[in-house]
Chain A
Amino acid sequence: METEKLLNFCCTIGRDLMQNGAEIFRVEESIQHILNAYGCADTEVFAIPSCIIVNIQEGERNYTKSVRIKTAANNLRKLDKLNALCWDICRDTPPMEENQRRLAEVMAEPRYPLAVSYLAYGLTAFFFTLFWGGRFTDALAAFPCGLIIKWTLSSMGRVRANVFFTNLLAGMLMALPPLLLLRWGVGIDADKCIIGAMMLLVPGIAITNVIRDVLAGDFLTAVTRLAEVLIVGFGIAVGVALAITAVRFALPAAAGLA
Protein backbone atom coordinates (compact mmCIF):
# COMPACT_ATOMS: atom_id res chain seq x y z
CA MET A 1 0.00 0.00 0.00
CA GLU A 2 2.75 2.45 0.98
CA THR A 3 4.83 1.43 -2.02
CA GLU A 4 1.93 2.13 -4.34
CA LYS A 5 1.42 5.55 -2.80
CA LEU A 6 5.09 6.29 -3.25
CA LEU A 7 4.96 5.12 -6.84
CA ASN A 8 1.96 7.31 -7.61
CA PHE A 9 3.54 10.31 -5.97
CA CYS A 10 6.80 9.88 -7.86
CA CYS A 11 5.01 9.70 -11.18
CA THR A 12 2.98 12.81 -10.41
CA ILE A 13 5.92 14.93 -9.34
CA GLY A 14 7.94 13.64 -12.29
CA ARG A 15 5.23 14.67 -14.70
CA ASP A 16 4.90 18.09 -13.10
CA LEU A 17 8.66 18.65 -13.28
CA MET A 18 8.76 17.64 -16.93
CA GLN A 19 5.84 19.86 -17.90
CA ASN A 20 7.43 22.88 -16.29
CA GLY A 21 10.73 22.80 -18.10
CA ALA A 22 12.94 20.34 -16.19
CA GLU A 23 15.63 18.44 -18.08
CA ILE A 24 15.34 14.67 -18.36
CA PHE A 25 18.19 13.98 -15.95
CA ARG A 26 16.52 16.23 -13.37
CA VAL A 27 13.26 14.29 -13.66
CA GLU A 28 14.97 10.91 -13.44
CA GLU A 29 17.35 11.89 -10.64
CA SER A 30 14.61 13.55 -8.57
CA ILE A 31 12.45 10.43 -8.71
CA GLN A 32 15.43 8.22 -7.99
CA HIS A 33 16.42 10.29 -4.96
CA ILE A 34 12.91 10.24 -3.54
CA LEU A 35 12.72 6.46 -3.98
CA ASN A 36 16.10 6.02 -2.31
CA ALA A 37 15.10 8.32 0.55
CA TYR A 38 12.08 6.11 1.22
CA GLY A 39 14.24 3.03 1.28
CA CYS A 40 13.50 1.48 -2.11
CA ALA A 41 16.73 -0.17 -3.19
CA ASP A 42 15.71 -1.96 -6.38
CA THR A 43 14.29 0.68 -8.71
CA GLU A 44 14.29 1.73 -12.34
CA VAL A 45 13.30 5.14 -13.65
CA PHE A 46 13.02 5.95 -17.32
CA ALA A 47 11.89 9.25 -18.73
CA ILE A 48 11.54 10.77 -22.18
CA PRO A 49 9.69 14.04 -22.85
CA SER A 50 6.40 12.28 -23.51
CA CYS A 51 6.52 9.49 -20.93
CA ILE A 52 7.85 8.43 -17.52
CA ILE A 53 8.11 4.81 -16.38
CA VAL A 54 8.91 3.99 -12.77
CA ASN A 55 9.47 0.48 -11.45
CA ILE A 56 9.97 -0.58 -7.84
CA GLN A 57 10.91 -4.15 -7.04
CA GLU A 58 10.24 -5.54 -3.59
CA GLY A 59 11.40 -9.13 -3.29
CA GLU A 60 9.81 -10.88 -6.26
CA ARG A 61 7.03 -8.34 -6.61
CA ASN A 62 7.16 -5.46 -9.10
CA TYR A 63 5.27 -2.21 -8.88
CA THR A 64 5.27 -0.34 -12.19
CA LYS A 65 3.57 2.79 -13.36
CA SER A 66 3.90 4.86 -16.50
CA VAL A 67 2.52 8.31 -17.17
CA ARG A 68 1.98 9.87 -20.57
CA ILE A 69 2.86 13.55 -20.85
CA LYS A 70 1.26 15.60 -23.54
CA THR A 71 1.23 19.28 -22.73
CA ALA A 72 3.92 21.64 -21.50
CA ALA A 73 3.09 24.39 -19.03
CA ASN A 74 6.53 26.06 -19.06
CA ASN A 75 6.22 27.60 -15.64
CA LEU A 76 9.70 28.22 -14.26
CA ARG A 77 8.41 29.26 -10.85
CA LYS A 78 6.82 25.85 -10.44
CA LEU A 79 10.04 24.21 -11.60
CA ASP A 80 11.88 26.03 -8.80
CA LYS A 81 9.27 25.10 -6.19
CA LEU A 82 9.05 21.46 -7.30
CA ASN A 83 12.82 21.19 -7.18
CA ALA A 84 12.87 22.62 -3.65
CA LEU A 85 10.05 20.24 -2.65
CA CYS A 86 12.09 17.27 -3.89
CA TRP A 87 15.04 18.33 -1.73
CA ASP A 88 12.81 18.75 1.32
CA ILE A 89 11.21 15.35 0.78
CA CYS A 90 14.56 13.61 0.41
CA ARG A 91 15.87 15.26 3.58
CA ASP A 92 12.87 14.80 5.90
CA THR A 93 10.98 11.86 4.31
CA PRO A 94 7.58 13.06 5.61
CA PRO A 95 4.50 10.83 5.27
CA MET A 96 3.07 10.55 1.73
CA GLU A 97 -0.15 12.41 2.61
CA GLU A 98 1.91 15.42 3.61
CA ASN A 99 3.90 15.25 0.34
CA GLN A 100 0.75 15.02 -1.73
CA ARG A 101 -0.72 18.01 0.06
CA ARG A 102 2.41 20.09 -0.52
CA LEU A 103 2.60 19.06 -4.17
CA ALA A 104 -1.03 20.03 -4.66
CA GLU A 105 -0.28 23.38 -3.02
CA VAL A 106 2.57 24.08 -5.43
CA MET A 107 0.53 23.08 -8.44
CA ALA A 108 -2.48 25.13 -7.35
CA GLU A 109 -0.52 28.39 -7.22
CA PRO A 110 -2.11 30.88 -9.57
CA ARG A 111 -0.45 32.04 -12.77
CA TYR A 112 0.03 35.73 -13.46
CA PRO A 113 -3.23 37.55 -14.19
CA LEU A 114 -4.08 37.64 -17.88
CA ALA A 115 -3.41 41.39 -18.14
CA VAL A 116 0.12 41.01 -16.73
CA SER A 117 0.77 38.14 -19.10
CA TYR A 118 -0.36 40.14 -22.15
CA LEU A 119 1.69 43.12 -20.99
CA ALA A 120 4.76 40.90 -20.60
CA TYR A 121 4.39 39.59 -24.19
CA GLY A 122 3.90 43.09 -25.56
CA LEU A 123 6.84 44.56 -23.65
CA THR A 124 9.13 41.68 -24.56
CA ALA A 125 8.44 42.31 -28.25
CA PHE A 126 8.96 46.03 -27.57
CA PHE A 127 12.36 45.63 -25.91
CA PHE A 128 13.63 43.00 -28.32
CA THR A 129 12.86 45.29 -31.24
CA LEU A 130 15.01 47.96 -29.59
CA PHE A 131 17.61 45.29 -28.87
CA TRP A 132 17.78 44.28 -32.53
CA GLY A 133 18.42 47.88 -33.51
CA GLY A 134 14.90 49.10 -34.14
CA ARG A 135 13.93 52.68 -33.38
CA PHE A 136 11.40 53.67 -30.74
CA THR A 137 8.57 53.84 -33.29
CA ASP A 138 9.42 50.32 -34.52
CA ALA A 139 9.26 49.09 -30.95
CA LEU A 140 5.84 50.67 -30.50
CA ALA A 141 4.65 48.86 -33.62
CA ALA A 142 6.05 45.59 -32.24
CA PHE A 143 4.08 45.88 -28.99
CA PRO A 144 0.74 44.77 -30.57
CA CYS A 145 2.62 41.91 -32.31
CA GLY A 146 3.46 40.57 -28.86
CA LEU A 147 -0.20 40.79 -27.85
CA ILE A 148 -1.22 38.93 -31.02
CA ILE A 149 1.28 36.17 -30.24
CA LYS A 150 -0.07 35.73 -26.73
CA TRP A 151 -3.64 35.66 -28.01
CA THR A 152 -2.83 33.12 -30.73
CA LEU A 153 -0.87 30.87 -28.40
CA SER A 154 -3.58 30.78 -25.76
CA SER A 155 -6.46 30.28 -28.21
CA MET A 156 -4.59 27.55 -30.08
CA GLY A 157 -3.77 25.94 -26.74
CA ARG A 158 -7.49 25.87 -25.96
CA VAL A 159 -8.39 24.04 -29.15
CA ARG A 160 -5.30 21.80 -28.74
CA ALA A 161 -3.79 22.65 -32.12
CA ASN A 162 -0.40 21.05 -32.85
CA VAL A 163 2.81 23.04 -32.38
CA PHE A 164 3.47 23.43 -36.10
CA PHE A 165 0.11 25.00 -36.85
CA THR A 166 0.15 27.11 -33.68
CA ASN A 167 3.51 28.65 -34.53
CA LEU A 168 2.64 29.03 -38.19
CA LEU A 169 -0.48 30.97 -37.28
CA ALA A 170 1.26 33.03 -34.61
CA GLY A 171 4.10 33.87 -36.98
CA MET A 172 1.72 34.85 -39.74
CA LEU A 173 -0.66 36.93 -37.62
CA MET A 174 2.09 38.79 -35.80
CA ALA A 175 3.96 39.62 -39.01
CA LEU A 176 0.90 41.11 -40.72
CA PRO A 177 0.44 44.40 -38.78
CA PRO A 178 3.99 45.75 -39.28
CA LEU A 179 4.01 44.73 -42.95
CA LEU A 180 0.60 46.33 -43.53
CA LEU A 181 1.60 49.49 -41.67
CA LEU A 182 4.66 49.74 -43.88
CA ARG A 183 2.55 49.30 -47.00
CA TRP A 184 0.15 51.97 -45.83
CA GLY A 185 3.02 54.39 -45.72
CA VAL A 186 3.90 54.41 -42.02
CA GLY A 187 7.66 54.73 -41.86
CA ILE A 188 8.60 51.77 -39.72
CA ASP A 189 11.22 49.09 -40.11
CA ALA A 190 8.94 46.05 -40.39
CA ASP A 191 11.90 43.60 -40.33
CA LYS A 192 12.96 44.80 -36.89
CA CYS A 193 9.41 44.58 -35.51
CA ILE A 194 9.03 41.02 -36.78
CA ILE A 195 12.43 39.93 -35.48
CA GLY A 196 11.68 41.46 -32.07
CA ALA A 197 8.32 39.78 -31.77
CA MET A 198 9.67 36.50 -33.18
CA MET A 199 11.85 36.10 -30.08
CA LEU A 200 8.67 35.30 -28.16
CA LEU A 201 8.01 32.28 -30.34
CA VAL A 202 11.53 30.85 -30.16
CA PRO A 203 11.29 27.59 -28.17
CA GLY A 204 13.80 28.69 -25.53
CA ILE A 205 13.18 25.88 -23.05
CA ALA A 206 13.50 23.20 -25.71
CA ILE A 207 16.70 24.74 -27.12
CA THR A 208 18.35 25.05 -23.72
CA ASN A 209 17.31 21.62 -22.54
CA VAL A 210 18.26 19.85 -25.76
CA ILE A 211 21.86 20.88 -25.09
CA ARG A 212 21.73 19.83 -21.45
CA ASP A 213 20.07 16.51 -22.31
CA VAL A 214 22.72 15.57 -24.85
CA LEU A 215 25.39 16.15 -22.20
CA ALA A 216 23.60 13.98 -19.70
CA GLY A 217 23.58 11.18 -22.29
CA ASP A 218 19.85 11.31 -23.05
CA PHE A 219 20.24 11.11 -26.79
CA LEU A 220 16.75 9.81 -27.42
CA THR A 221 15.36 12.85 -25.64
CA ALA A 222 17.74 15.15 -27.43
CA VAL A 223 16.52 13.88 -30.79
CA THR A 224 12.88 14.31 -29.75
CA ARG A 225 13.45 17.84 -28.48
CA LEU A 226 15.53 18.75 -31.52
CA ALA A 227 12.63 17.64 -33.70
CA GLU A 228 10.37 19.89 -31.63
CA VAL A 229 12.73 22.85 -32.03
CA LEU A 230 12.95 22.30 -35.79
CA ILE A 231 9.20 21.92 -36.22
CA VAL A 232 8.48 25.04 -34.19
CA GLY A 233 11.14 26.95 -36.12
CA PHE A 234 9.79 25.70 -39.42
CA GLY A 235 6.26 26.71 -38.38
CA ILE A 236 7.36 30.26 -37.52
CA ALA A 237 9.32 30.55 -40.77
CA VAL A 238 6.42 29.36 -42.92
CA GLY A 239 4.03 31.68 -41.07
CA VAL A 240 6.20 34.77 -41.52
CA ALA A 241 6.91 33.84 -45.13
CA LEU A 242 3.18 33.49 -45.81
CA ALA A 243 2.53 36.92 -44.33
CA ILE A 244 5.27 38.58 -46.41
CA THR A 245 4.10 36.88 -49.60
CA ALA A 246 0.44 37.64 -48.91
CA VAL A 247 1.14 41.33 -48.37
CA ARG A 248 3.23 41.48 -51.54
CA PHE A 249 0.47 39.86 -53.56
CA ALA A 250 -2.44 41.79 -52.04
CA LEU A 251 -0.77 45.20 -52.15
CA PRO A 252 1.70 45.08 -55.03
CA ALA A 253 1.66 48.88 -55.43
CA ALA A 254 4.67 49.45 -53.24
CA ALA A 255 6.56 46.33 -54.28
CA GLY A 256 10.20 46.20 -53.30
CA LEU A 257 9.77 48.03 -50.02
CA ALA A 258 9.61 45.19 -47.56
Chain B
Amino acid sequence: MLKTFLPCLWAFLACLTFCFVFELRRWRFILAASFTGAMGWLVYLLPDNWGSVARFLTATVVVAVLSEIFARILKTPATIFLIIGIIPMVPGGGIYYTLEALINGDMPLFVQRGMETAASAGAIAVGCSLVSSVARIIALLRRERENRQNRDAI
Protein backbone atom coordinates (compact mmCIF):
# COMPACT_ATOMS: atom_id res chain seq x y z
CA MET B 1 0.00 0.00 0.00
CA LEU B 2 2.63 2.46 1.12
CA LYS B 3 4.97 1.25 -1.59
CA THR B 4 2.32 1.94 -4.23
CA PHE B 5 1.73 5.50 -3.18
CA LEU B 6 5.31 6.40 -2.31
CA PRO B 7 5.82 7.78 -5.88
CA CYS B 8 3.25 10.47 -5.05
CA LEU B 9 5.50 11.68 -2.24
CA TRP B 10 8.49 11.68 -4.60
CA ALA B 11 6.42 13.53 -7.19
CA PHE B 12 5.51 16.12 -4.55
CA LEU B 13 9.13 16.63 -3.52
CA ALA B 14 10.39 16.64 -7.13
CA CYS B 15 7.82 19.29 -8.07
CA LEU B 16 8.76 21.25 -4.96
CA THR B 17 12.41 21.43 -5.94
CA PHE B 18 11.40 22.07 -9.54
CA CYS B 19 9.65 25.24 -8.34
CA PHE B 20 13.05 26.51 -7.25
CA VAL B 21 14.45 25.76 -10.72
CA PHE B 22 11.70 27.98 -12.14
CA GLU B 23 12.35 30.66 -9.50
CA LEU B 24 9.00 30.49 -7.74
CA ARG B 25 9.31 32.15 -4.33
CA ARG B 26 6.01 32.35 -2.51
CA TRP B 27 5.48 29.25 -0.40
CA ARG B 28 1.77 29.21 -1.14
CA PHE B 29 2.53 28.91 -4.87
CA ILE B 30 5.22 26.32 -4.33
CA LEU B 31 3.00 24.13 -2.14
CA ALA B 32 0.00 24.50 -4.47
CA ALA B 33 2.08 23.57 -7.53
CA SER B 34 3.69 20.57 -5.81
CA PHE B 35 0.31 19.41 -4.50
CA THR B 36 -1.05 19.61 -8.05
CA GLY B 37 1.78 17.41 -9.32
CA ALA B 38 1.34 14.84 -6.53
CA MET B 39 -2.45 14.68 -6.98
CA GLY B 40 -2.02 14.10 -10.69
CA TRP B 41 0.18 11.11 -10.05
CA LEU B 42 -2.18 9.81 -7.34
CA VAL B 43 -5.04 9.82 -9.83
CA TYR B 44 -2.79 8.13 -12.40
CA LEU B 45 -2.06 5.35 -9.91
CA LEU B 46 -5.64 4.79 -8.72
CA PRO B 47 -7.44 3.00 -11.60
CA ASP B 48 -4.95 0.21 -12.14
CA ASN B 49 -7.12 -1.79 -14.54
CA TRP B 50 -7.35 1.00 -17.13
CA GLY B 51 -5.04 1.46 -20.08
CA SER B 52 -2.17 3.89 -19.64
CA VAL B 53 -3.61 6.41 -22.11
CA ALA B 54 -6.91 6.68 -20.21
CA ARG B 55 -5.02 7.03 -16.94
CA PHE B 56 -2.78 9.76 -18.31
CA LEU B 57 -5.85 11.56 -19.63
CA THR B 58 -7.73 11.52 -16.30
CA ALA B 59 -4.61 12.45 -14.35
CA THR B 60 -3.95 15.41 -16.64
CA VAL B 61 -7.55 16.56 -16.35
CA VAL B 62 -7.13 16.57 -12.57
CA VAL B 63 -3.85 18.49 -12.80
CA ALA B 64 -5.39 21.06 -15.14
CA VAL B 65 -8.54 21.50 -13.01
CA LEU B 66 -6.44 21.96 -9.87
CA SER B 67 -4.25 24.49 -11.71
CA GLU B 68 -7.28 26.52 -12.76
CA ILE B 69 -8.68 26.40 -9.21
CA PHE B 70 -5.40 27.48 -7.64
CA ALA B 71 -5.05 30.20 -10.26
CA ARG B 72 -8.43 31.63 -9.24
CA ILE B 73 -7.70 31.37 -5.50
CA LEU B 74 -4.18 32.78 -5.65
CA LYS B 75 -4.94 35.23 -8.50
CA THR B 76 -2.10 34.26 -10.79
CA PRO B 77 -1.77 32.65 -14.24
CA ALA B 78 -2.86 29.00 -14.28
CA THR B 79 0.11 28.17 -16.45
CA ILE B 80 2.39 28.47 -13.40
CA PHE B 81 0.77 25.49 -11.67
CA LEU B 82 0.31 23.63 -14.93
CA ILE B 83 3.97 23.89 -15.89
CA ILE B 84 5.06 22.39 -12.56
CA GLY B 85 2.15 19.98 -12.09
CA ILE B 86 2.44 18.40 -15.53
CA ILE B 87 6.11 17.51 -15.16
CA PRO B 88 5.62 14.12 -13.45
CA MET B 89 3.39 13.17 -16.40
CA VAL B 90 6.15 13.74 -18.94
CA PRO B 91 6.96 10.24 -20.18
CA GLY B 92 10.67 10.46 -19.38
CA GLY B 93 11.01 6.70 -19.03
CA GLY B 94 9.22 6.11 -22.32
CA ILE B 95 11.50 8.53 -24.14
CA TYR B 96 14.60 6.94 -22.67
CA TYR B 97 13.63 3.34 -23.39
CA THR B 98 12.60 4.30 -26.92
CA LEU B 99 16.03 5.80 -27.38
CA GLU B 100 17.72 2.73 -25.92
CA ALA B 101 15.83 0.47 -28.31
CA LEU B 102 16.96 2.65 -31.20
CA ILE B 103 20.61 2.50 -30.11
CA ASN B 104 20.39 -1.27 -29.80
CA GLY B 105 18.94 -1.41 -33.30
CA ASP B 106 15.79 -3.14 -32.05
CA MET B 107 13.34 -1.60 -34.51
CA PRO B 108 10.11 -3.38 -33.44
CA LEU B 109 10.72 -2.40 -29.80
CA PHE B 110 11.64 1.13 -30.90
CA VAL B 111 8.35 1.52 -32.79
CA GLN B 112 6.32 -0.02 -29.97
CA ARG B 113 7.85 2.14 -27.24
CA GLY B 114 7.82 5.21 -29.47
CA MET B 115 4.12 4.81 -30.14
CA GLU B 116 3.39 4.23 -26.46
CA THR B 117 5.26 7.38 -25.55
CA ALA B 118 3.57 9.39 -28.30
CA ALA B 119 0.15 8.12 -27.17
CA SER B 120 0.71 9.17 -23.57
CA ALA B 121 2.02 12.57 -24.71
CA GLY B 122 -1.13 12.91 -26.83
CA ALA B 123 -3.33 11.98 -23.86
CA ILE B 124 -1.66 14.67 -21.77
CA ALA B 125 -2.20 17.27 -24.48
CA VAL B 126 -5.87 16.34 -24.88
CA GLY B 127 -6.54 16.38 -21.12
CA CYS B 128 -4.87 19.73 -20.76
CA SER B 129 -6.75 21.19 -23.74
CA LEU B 130 -10.17 20.06 -22.55
CA VAL B 131 -9.83 21.78 -19.19
CA SER B 132 -8.21 24.94 -20.54
CA SER B 133 -10.95 25.32 -23.16
CA VAL B 134 -13.74 24.94 -20.63
CA ALA B 135 -11.99 27.31 -18.22
CA ARG B 136 -11.69 29.94 -20.94
CA ILE B 137 -15.34 29.66 -21.88
CA ILE B 138 -16.41 29.98 -18.23
CA ALA B 139 -14.16 33.01 -17.73
CA LEU B 140 -15.57 34.64 -20.86
CA LEU B 141 -19.18 34.02 -19.83
CA ARG B 142 -18.49 35.45 -16.40
CA ARG B 143 -16.88 38.56 -17.85
CA GLU B 144 -19.86 39.07 -20.16
CA ARG B 145 -22.28 38.73 -17.29
CA GLU B 146 -20.30 41.25 -15.24
CA ASN B 147 -20.28 43.68 -18.15
CA ARG B 148 -24.02 43.31 -18.53
CA GLN B 149 -24.54 43.95 -14.83
CA ASN B 150 -22.31 47.03 -14.99
CA ARG B 151 -24.31 48.34 -17.90
CA ASP B 152 -27.57 47.77 -16.03
CA ALA B 153 -26.20 49.60 -12.99
CA ILE B 154 -25.40 52.64 -15.11
A residues neighboring B (CB under 8 Å):
21-23, 26, 74-80, 83-84, 111-112, 116-117, 119-121, 123-124, 126-128, 130-133, 191, 194-196, 198-200, 202, 204-205, 207-209, 211-212, 214-216, 233, 237, 240-241, 244-245
Contacts and interface: CB of A to CB of B under 8 A. Distances in A.
Contacts, number: 136
- The 4 closest A-B CB pairs, nearest first, are A120-B20, A127-B14, A131-B10, A123-B17
Contacts of B25: 77
Contacts of B97: 191
Interface residues of B, number: 43
Interface of B: 7, 10-11, 13-14, 17-26, 29, 75-77, 79-80, 82-84, 86-88, 90, 92-93, 95-97, 99-100, 102-103, 125, 128-129, 132-133, 136
A133 to B, nearest CB: 8
Contact of B90 (A76, A123, A124, A207): A207
Contacts of B136: 215-216
Contacts of B75: 84
Contacts of A127: 10, 13-14, 17
Contacts of A205: 22, 83
Contacts of A23: 77, 79
A128 B20 contact: no
Contact of A76 (B23, B99, B129, B133): B23
7 contacts: A76-B22, A80-B77, A112-B23, A191-B100, A205-B83, A216-B136, A244-B100
A218 B27 CA distance: 33
Contact of A77 (B24, B82, B88, B92): B24
A83 B10 contact: no
